[in-house]
């Protein structure tokens, strides 16, 4: 049975653009909006994609109107499809395989995201009762990611996600149970734009909560379960996310924070975050 390591030290679960054929810049569509400066159809290379499969404006994406690109993470799916599924043969070298490569990429991305969550869950001391089940799930999904393109396209992704979600839910509950006191339950809640400054949310369930443009400045989110929470434009200035469960880099990249925001050691502080915290008002 495999012994997965957290994504912070597992290169298989981190994007490696140098070994990818720019799949996120080709396979996925985007529409002109606040997140993208232009329209692009699925299967059409972005105008900023260079011949070496790297982004020509990577260092100035936000200034160029491509905020959406800065919050996307394939969790290592790009290099897996490029180097394992298609054995290092790019869509430029073999145009006939391009369609299948583009179709496989989102499937692989879903599976790698699940692997990332499972890897984190197996490292939670409190989740020991479900650790063997988590390891079995990791092995099974990891094997899927190394199968043929045809097999990957046949994967029932919603079914796999449903099975894994039950284990992740249990792991999260076990971890949050160790937090003293009564924990708040905001699972799936619509909290868009809500003022929650200095909110006491330690050990809370925020699974799937819609927190778009919510004010969580100064909030205590230690050990909160944030899997699937929508943090687009959420104010996290001065918030404490130490030990937050299942928080991902894309979620942080989509939010607003500053140097006083405390984040898990496995994640990186987004470069576009500010340097000073907003003045926090009373808790709501």
Domain locations along the chain: 7-176, 181-284
List C-alpha distances in Å: 196 to 125, 143, 218.
30, 42, 9
**Positive or negative: CA dihedral 222, 113, 229, 132:** negative
* Domain 181-284 falls under CATH 1.10.10.10: no
Whether the Cβ atoms of residue 133 and residue 68 lie closer than 8 Å to each other: no
Q: Tens-of-pLDDT digits for all 284 residues of the chain?
A: 666 765 444 778 999 999 999 999 999 999 999 889 999 999 999 999 999 999 999 989 989 999 999 889 999 999 999 999 999 999 999 999 999 999 999 999 999 999 999 999 999 999 999 999 999 999 999 999 999 999 999 999 999 999 999 999 999 999 999 999 999 999 999 999 999 999 999 999 999 999 999 999 999 999 999 999 999 999 999 999 999 999 999 999 999 999 999 999 989 999 889 765 444 444 43
Angle at the Cα of 168 from the Cα atoms of 77 and 11, rounded to 5 degrees: 30
- Label residues 75-103 b or e (16+ Cβ within 10 Å = b): bbbbbbbbeebbeeebbeeeeebbebbbe
Query: What is the Cβ-side half-sphere exposure of residue 98, based on CA atoms within 13 angstroms?
Result: 14
**pLDDT given at position 279:** 41
Provide the token pair at 205: 């369930």
Q: Which of 106, 110, 113, 111 is nearest to 27 (CA)?
A: 106
The per-residue pLDDT for 276 is 56
pLDDT at 274: 79
- Radius of gyration of the chain from Cα atoms? 19
Cβ atoms within 10 Å of 276's Cβ, excluding its own: 10
- CA–CA separation, 258 vs 275, rounded Å? 5
User: Considering only CA atoms, which of 150, 151, 15, 146 is closest in space to residue 78?
Assistant: 15
The pLDDT assigned to 11 comes to 72
**Whole-angstrom Cα distance, residue 109 to residue 160?**
13
């Amino acid at each position: 049975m495999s012994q997965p390591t957290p994504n912070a030290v597992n290169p298989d679960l981190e994007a490696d653009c140098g070994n990818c054929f720019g799949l996120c810049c080709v396979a996925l569509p985007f529409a002109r909006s606040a997140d993208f400066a232009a329209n692009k159809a699925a299967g059409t290379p972005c105008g900023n994609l260079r011949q070496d499969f790297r982004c020509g404006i990577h260092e100035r994406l936000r200034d160029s109107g491509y905020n959406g690109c800065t919050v996307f993470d394939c969790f290592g799916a790009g290099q897996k499809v490029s180097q394992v599924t298609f054995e290092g043969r790019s869509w430029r070298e073999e145009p006939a395989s391009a369609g299948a490569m583009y179709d496989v990429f989102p499937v692989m991305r879903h599976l790698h995201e699940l692997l990332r969550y499972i890897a984190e869950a197996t490292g939670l001391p409190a989740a020991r009762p479900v650790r063997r089940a988590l390891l079995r799930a990791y092995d099974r999904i990891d094997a899927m990611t190394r199968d043929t393109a045809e097999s990957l396209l046949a994967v029932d992704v919603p079914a796999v996600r449903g099975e894994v979600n039950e284990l992740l839910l249990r792991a999260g509950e076990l971890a949050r149970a160790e937090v003293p006191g009564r924990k708040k339950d905001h699972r799936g809640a619509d909290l868009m734009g809500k003022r929650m400054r200095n909110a006491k949310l330690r050990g809370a369930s925020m699974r799937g909560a819609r927190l778009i443009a919510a004010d969580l400045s100064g909030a205590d989110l230690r050990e909160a379960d944030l899997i699937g929470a929508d943090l687009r434009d959420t104010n996290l200035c001065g918030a404490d996310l130490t030990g937050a469960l299942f928080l991902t880099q894309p979620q942080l990249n989509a939010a607003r924070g500053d140097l006083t925001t405390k984040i898990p050691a496995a994640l990186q502080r987004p470069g576009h975050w500010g340097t000073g915290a907003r003045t926090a008002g009373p808790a709501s």
